[in-house]
């Protein structure tokens, strides 16, 4: 996996900006109070909250022109009303801007992303039915995921995943995806995240064969389809630490579904924390990962999500937004493509053998 372990310079694409570094002796940042550190949802009437620096960054990286911003939103809104008049979707400025920014203000690609966003719910009811924070409290309590309270020096929040905290007999794997999806929905609300993107830190401590073989390729393809093609967020880097030998088998399941640009953003650090610190500064990392930002706190993000219960009920616990909508075949969510199940299972059998070999 030499390409996956390539340097940071190669990992970042043309839309990225160079990593900056800090003095490793920097004092710890003040820990925010639980539930009071993450920005609230956007107001009903759109008003740009970007700093002048982020306005300039959005112009350079996303082709966003402030003077044309609302005109572009209206153009996308008109496309939805004309091409998919039965689609039950939000059409407010703040919501549509997420899709335009994620696709660099290309109307057609933003429209496809919006349709994929909604069709993913139909394709995976186990994840999206009754989707609200209270239904994943057990995942949050287990410590499967959190968001670090301080963004990195590029303004990117860090989603911390710990797959080893989950065991196959604890609860269905789909519950983990529900928690991740709710977290992404919360993270994408601030305009700063829409411009800066996010970073993923995945700690594979404790991952064994049972976790590695679950999910199989079919579920892995659905997860990747959501992250790459069905959600308006920019994933700028995926840092893997403490990966076991069997990670080679895990990545073999995921890699066929990754676009080349995304595959290059995976960086494997092993147990080398100095390598991690070259990508994520110590000032924002908890002590568990050699940082100076105190201990890893799982409760703050859990509270942030659980306090947003009513917000998510309004957003997700509604009738199917695609009811009565006919989508072009080119816009079907990956999981709805016919004829893929048998091939996926054949692939899974071969990869399971590889996992046992690595283990």
Q: 246-273: per-residue pLDDT in tens? A: 777 778 778 888 999 999 999 999 999 9
* Its pTM surpasses 0.85: no
Q: What is the rounded average pLDDT of the residues 126-137?
A: 94
User: Are 210 and 355 a contacting pair, CB within 8 Å?
Assistant: no
Q: Which range (48-57, 87-96, 121-130, 178-187) has the least confidence? A: 121-130
SS3 percent helix, strand, coil of the chain, rounded to 5, is 50, 5, 40
Q: Which one, of 352, 355, 350, 347, lies nearest residue 248 by Cα?
A: 355
Q: Label residue 135 by pLDDT band (50, 70, 90).
A: very high
In this model, does residue 5 exceed pLDDT 50? no
Contacts 24+ apart (CB under 8 A), 140-145: 140/179, 140/298, 140/301, 140/302, 140/305, 140/306, 141/302, 142/166, 142/170, 143/298, 144/176, 144/179, 145/176, 145/179, 145/180, 145/183, 145/301
pLDDT in tens, 67-110: 999 999 999 999 999 999 989 899 999 999 999 999 999 999 99
pLDDT tier for residue 213 given thresholds of 50, 70 and 90:
low
- How much is the average pLDDT of 218-225? 81
Residue 16 DSSP label = -
pLDDT value, residue 346? 47
Q: Stretch 51-74: mean pLDDT, rounded?
A: 97
Buried b (16+ CB within 10 A) or exposed e, 263-299: bbbbbbbeeebebbbebbbbbbbbeebebbbeebbbe
Specify the higher pLDDT residue, 333 or 201.
201
Q: Which domains does the chain have, with CATH numbers?
A: 52-123 (1.10.8), 126-317 (3.40.525.10)
Distance CA 357, CA 359 (A): 5
Where does the pLDDT of residue 222 fall: very low under 50, low under 70, confident under 90, or very high at 90 and above?
confident
**pLDDT, mean over the chain:** 82
> For position 215, what pLDDT does the model report?
62
Which is nearest to 196 in space by CA: 58, 338, 345, 343? Answer: 58
Q: How far apart are CA 135 and CA 179, in angstroms?
A: 9
* d(C-alpha 129, C-alpha 102), whole Å: 25
């Amino acid at each position: 996996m030499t390409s996956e372990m390539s340097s940071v310079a190669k990992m970042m694409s043309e839309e990225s900006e160079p990593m900056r570094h800090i003095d490793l002796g920097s004092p710890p940042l003040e820990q925010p109070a639980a539930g009071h550190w993450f920005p609230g949802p956007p107001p009903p009437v759109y008003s740009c909250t970007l700093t002048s620096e982020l306005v300039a960054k959005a112009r350079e990286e996303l082709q966003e022109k402030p003077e044309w911003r609302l005109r572009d939103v209206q153009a996308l809104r008109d496309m939805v009303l004309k091409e998919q008049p039965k689609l039950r979707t939000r059409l407010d400025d703040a919501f549509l801007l997420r899709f335009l920014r994620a696709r660099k203000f290309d109307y057609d690609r933003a429209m496809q992303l919006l349709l994929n966003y909604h069709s993913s719910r139909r394709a995976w009811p186990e994840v999206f039915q009754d989707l609200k924070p209270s239904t994943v409290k057990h995942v949050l309590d287990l410590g499967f995921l959190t968001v670090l309270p301080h963004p990195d020096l590029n303004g990117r929040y860090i989603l911390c995943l710990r797959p080893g905290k989950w065991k196959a007999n604890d609860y269905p794997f789909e519950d983990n995806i529900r928690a991740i999806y709710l977290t992404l929905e919360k993270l994408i609300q601030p305009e700063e995240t829409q411009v800066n993107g996010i970073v993923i830190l995945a700690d594979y401590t404790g991952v064994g064969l049972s976790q590695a073989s679950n999910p199989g390729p079919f579920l892995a393809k659905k997860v990747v389809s959501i992250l790459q093609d069905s959600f308006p967020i920019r994933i700028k880097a995926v840092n893997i630490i403490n990966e076991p030998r069997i990670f080679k088998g895990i990545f073999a399941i995921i890699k066929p579904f990754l676009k080349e640009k995304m595959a290059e953003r995976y960086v494997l650090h092993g147990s080398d924390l100095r390598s991690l610190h070259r990508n994520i500064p110590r000032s924002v990392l908890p002590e568990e990962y050699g940082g100076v930002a105190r201990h890893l706190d799982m409760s703050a993000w859990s509270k942030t999500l659980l306090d947003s219960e009513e917000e998510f009920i309004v957003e997700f616990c509604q009738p199917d937004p695609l009811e009565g909508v006919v989508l072009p075949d080119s816009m079907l969510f990956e999981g709805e493509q016919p004829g893929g199940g048998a091939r996926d299972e054949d692939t899974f059998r071969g990869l399971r053998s590889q996992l046992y070999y690595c283990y």
